[in-house]
Amino acid sequence: MFKAVVIEKDESGQRVALQDLDATALPEGNVQIDVDYSSLNFKDALAITGKSPVVRKFPMVPGIDLAGTVTFSSHARWSQGDRVVLNGWGVGETHWGGFAQRASLDGDWLVPLPDVFTPRQAMAIGTAGYTASLCVEGLLNNGVRPDQGEILVTGATGGVGSVAIALLTKAGFTVAASTGKSSEVTYLKELGATTIIDREELSAKGKPLQKERWAGVVDSVGSFTLANACAQTRYGGTVTACGLAQGMDFPASVAPFILRGVSLLGIDSVMAPTERRLTAWTRLSNDLEPAALDSIAAEVSLEESIAAAGQLMDGTVRGRIIVDVNR
């Protein structure tokens, strides 16, 4: 038997509860894992609260992240005792995810847990931090350099924003952090941000072309915030887009792209190929201090994760939420 958060849905609506399940309930997979930790991401919160049709089949165990130890494998790359990390691949949407004490998965979805991180620390990073690393790689690969100017990070107190600030600072960039939480200024400056911007400056409709401010952008918000960020990006700059906290719409003009040569890079973490994942995790292991992860993460139990999902949707969460599936 093992414990799992299970989402069920029928004509009467959606229900979410902590359940005791038999091992025979696990879905098919060529690797089985004893899960140590998972993490609560925006997509998990959408799934648990039912505020967006994230879950594609029911019943579903949410949790797009997990870290744990292989207990069985018929996959060529993995052996019993290997420590692994999973991010994305539709887990928690179409395949049972990490909010459980056990998981059965496709070995192609896994990457090795970097030696410098414990499973708990890996989940303090989770999909949010891994996505932040993909964004930083996108900026660097597109030629953005520290001497070209500030990098704007939107949704700065969230998981993506928090890790992005730390990684960009380590890479030598000057970072401006956009947030609606004035109480978190100290937290953001401790991560490395030098300028704090009220998100209201970016969240309303703005001119199609505005004063040039940013050499690059890491945006996890979308909608008007992303449109304004593009309108304020310097000539030849790069904007990486990875989220939709404000909305999925993009009410923008072509002006920044055809008059300033701004590049807009879409960052997908769910189906990113293994090579890109390994590069992202290598940057995280080289540039992110393991001890610093404590400042961006809070921990909840498996049962507490249900209520925490609502808090994340309400915007009252700072940084990352780790889920200890064994308490």
In a shared domain, residues 90 and 206? no
Mean pLDDT of 270-292: 93
What is the C-alpha separation between 260 and 224, in angstroms, rounded? 19
Give me the CATH number covering residue 258.
3.40.50.720
What is the per-residue pLDDT across 66-117, written as a single tens digit (0 to 9) for each? 999 999 999 999 999 999 999 999 999 999 999 999 999 999 999 999 999 9
In a shared domain, residues 15 and 97? yes
**Residue 214's beta-bridge partner residues?**
150, 233
* Structural domains counted in the chain: 2
Residue % of the chain over a pLDDT of 70: 100
H or E stretch at 71: strand 65-73
pLDDT value of position 320: 87
What is the C-alpha separation between 196 and 166, in angstroms, rounded? 15
Residue-averaged pLDDT of the chain: 95
In a shared domain, residues 318 and 199? no
Query: Are 17 and 6 within 8 A, CB to CB?
Result: yes
Is residue 39 included in any domain, yes or no? yes
Query: Are 130 and 280 within 8 A, CB to CB?
Result: yes
In a shared domain, residues 154 and 254? yes
Is residue 60 included in any domain, yes or no? yes
Q: Does residue 40 register a pLDDT over 90? A: yes
In a shared domain, residues 136 and 242? yes
The domain boundary residue, chosen from 226, 250, 266: 266
Which residue shows structure tokens 């970097």? 114
Which residue shows structure tokens 């994760």? 305
Name the residue range of residue 206's domain: 127-266
Rg of the chain, C-alpha, whole Å: 20
Give how far Cα 76 sits from Cα of 71, 82, 105, 141, Å.
Answer: 14, 12, 14, 32
Phi-psi domain of 155 (left: phi exceeds 0; alpha: psi -120 through 50; beta: other): left
Mean pLDDT of 133-142: 97
In a shared domain, residues 14 and 52? yes
In a shared domain, residues 143 and 50? no
Q: Does residue 207 register a pLDDT over 90? A: yes
Q: How confident is the model at residue 266 (pLDDT cuts 50, 70, 90)?
A: very high
Q: What is the DSSP letter of 27?
A: P
Q: Does residue 291 register a pLDDT over 90? A: no
What is the per-residue pLDDT across 155-187, written as a single tens digit (0 to 9) for each? 999 889 999 999 999 999 999 999 998 889 999
The domain boundary residue, chosen from 266, 282, 316: 266
Q: Does residue 3 register a pLDDT over 90? A: yes
In a shared domain, residues 87 and 155? no
In a shared domain, residues 134 and 238? yes
Is residue 271 included in any domain, yes or no? no
pTM value? 0.91
Tokens of 69: 């130890």
Q: What are the two backbone dihedrals, phi and then psi, of residue 290, each rounded to the nearest 5 degrees?
A: -55, -40
Residue 108: count of CB within 10 angstroms of its CB: 11
